[in-house]
Amino acid sequence: MEPNGTEQDIPVIDPRSITDLGEFMDSFMGTTKTLIRAEREHITFLVTKRTSEAARKVTGSLAAFVLYGVAVLLVSFGGAIWVGRELDNVVLGFGIVAVGYVIAGVFFGIFWKGSLGERFVTNVMNSFHGH
């Protein structure tokens, strides 16, 4: 390493033009170090790119989840109050909406344990590996 913290570039010479074994080894080592440095930078780039893409997707999914969750919550409250007013019992309206969510959760659980969950896992794995 040089005093400023950078690695010294070793000159790369065409090995076919070298007749001295010492010069050949210096050229070989220079080429090898250059290749290793380039591969290290390439792998660092790939890891950084994949990590950034994953963070972007997670952040976008989290934001969408929160926004959709708030929308569903507001619609649920509105629907429960409306059903309750129609039946002249607001508590009964909230109970009916809650039972509807329980039924929806049971159906989702049945589908999630089947093909829906498997497709989700496959899609996440393919996305992570760049397919």
pLDDT tens sequence across 28-62: 888 899 999 999 999 999 989 888 888 888 899 89
pLDDT tens sequence across 72-122: 999 999 999 999 999 999 999 999 999 999 999 999 888 888 777 788 888
Residue labelled with tokens 């989700």: 120
Report the candidate in 39, 54, 37, 30 with the shortest Cα–Cα distance to residue 125. Answer: 54
Name the pTM for this structure.
0.52
Q: Is the pLDDT of residue 4 over 70?
A: no
68 inside domain? yes
3 inside domain? no
Report the candidate in 123, 106, 108, 130 with the shortest Cα–Cα distance to residue 53. Answer: 130
Domain tally for the chain? 1
The pLDDT confidence band at residue 1, using thresholds 50, 70 and 90, is: very low
Domain range spanning residue 20?
A: 15-128
What are the percentages of helix, strand and coil residues in the chain, rounded to 5?
A: 80, 0, 20
8 inside domain? no
10 inside domain? no
